[in-house]
Amino acid sequence: MATRSTTSPLIPRRRPSQERSRRKFDTMLAVARDLLTEVGFESMTCEEIAARADVPIGTLYQFFANKYVIVCELDRQDTVAVQAELVELGSAIPSLDWPALLERFLDHLAALWQHDPSRRAVWLAVQSTPATRATAALNEQALAEQVEHILAPLTPHQRERRKTMARLLVHTVFSALSFSVQDGQDRAGTVAELKRMMGGYLLREEGKLEG
């Protein structure tokens, strides 16, 4: 607990305000994502990112203090993408068909992780240090807050538990998705079990209301 309270989030030194700088910023992140997938976090260096992005190393350091900040920014990008999907899911709930909506949402996330290996590479990279874990936890918390809002009409009498439920659901889903794309794993089978687990858990909570 002490680490979380004393560790500052790892964020860019500044964000670009002009189009030219924004293009460089985005290019460096795209190159970093490809390099991370190619060589792994331990072997990824800021020097190689700058070289592949065709920018001076000083330009990279204007935005990013080190590679830990870079992977945290990649994690933020992935979080923002999922947030947009959650907005769409939330707009359709409450609905009698929410179990099917949940399954489609999980299928969509699973497809992203299957076809984009950088998702798992980023997720693993942000587990590397206390500072990256603390920053990733903030991104995860942002998702959990959205899920908490989505859960509200399904669990109207579980207000005190809902925050914990949401955080647990988000963490479980991403852990399972990472597991599903490991070499040798039955991806389809893992995703099917994830959908059963999530759907069964929420149906049980909904059943408490109906009972």
Inter-axis angle of helices 98-115 and 159-180, nearest 10: 40
Cα–Cα distance for residue pair 45/14, rounded to 1 Å: 20
Question: What contacts 192, CB < 8 A, 6 or more positions away?
Answer: none
pTM of the model: 0.89
Tokens of 181: 């794309």
In order along its 211 residues, the chain shows pLDDT tens digits of: 344 446 789 999 999 999 999 999 999 999 999 999 999 999 999 999 999 999 999 999 999 999 999 999 999 999 999 999 899 888 888 777 888 889 999 999 999 999 999 999 999 999 999 999 999 999 999 999 999 999 888 888 888 899 999 999 999 999 999 999 999 999 999 999 999 999 998 888 766 544 4
Cα–Cα distance for residue pair 161/157, rounded to 1 Å: 9
Tokens of 30: 């795209």
Amino acid at 14: R
3-state SS assignment for residue 178: helix
